[in-house]
């Protein structure tokens, strides 16, 4: 069987909701040990089985994998990576800031949506629709 990757290949890989640039350190049957070189996406916070829930669930804090940390990842989560590998610390800071920006944008959208729904509720009540 031809292996999809070989030791030393640069890859883009997902691990527990985070995304990384790494180097294949070892090949197993259906997985590869990937040495982390940079962070592309900060792992998601909270309960992955109950997204957007904050009450009645265990709200997980997930840290990105450390520089040079080796994690066993399924081949299905690994793609070849071509390009420059950014500095780990810079990539971690950028991924964290990007995740925070996206959450703040979602928070702003939710606030605005609630305002519009409050307005609609008032309109519906005045029309005696509810």
pLDDT in tens, 75-123: 999 999 999 999 999 999 999 999 999 999 999 999 999 999 999 999 9
Mean confidence (pLDDT) of the chain: 94
Task: Look at residues 24, 30, 28, 31 and name the one whose alpha carbon lies nearest to residue 7.
Answer: 24
What length is written for the chain?
Answer: 130
HSE value, Cβ hemisphere, 13 Å, CA-based, for 18: 24
Q: Is 27 contained in some domain?
A: yes
Is there a domain that residue 68 lies in?
yes
Domain CATH for 58 = 2.30.30.430
CA torsion 61→52→17→42, rounded to 10°? -60
Predicted structure pTM score = 0.85
> What domain range includes position 96?
10-126
> Does 2 reside within a domain?
no
């Amino acid at each position: 069987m031809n292996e999809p990757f070989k030791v030393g290949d640069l890859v883009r890989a997902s691990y527990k909701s985070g995304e990384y640039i790494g180097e294949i350190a070892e090949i197993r049957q259906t997985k590869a040990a990937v040495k982390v070189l940079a962070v592309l996406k900060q792992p998601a916070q909270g309960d992955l089985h109950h997204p957007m829930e904050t009450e009645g669930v265990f709200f997980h804090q997930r840290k990105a994998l450390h520089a040079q940390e080796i994690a066993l990842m399924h081949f299905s989560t690994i793609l070849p990576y071509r390009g420059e590998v950014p500095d780990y610390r810079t990539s971690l800071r950028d991924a964290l800031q990007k995740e925070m920006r996206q959450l703040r944008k979602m928070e702003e959208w939710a606030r605005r949506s609630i305002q519009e729904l409050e307005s609609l509720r008032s309109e519906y009540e005045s029309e005696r629709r509810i």
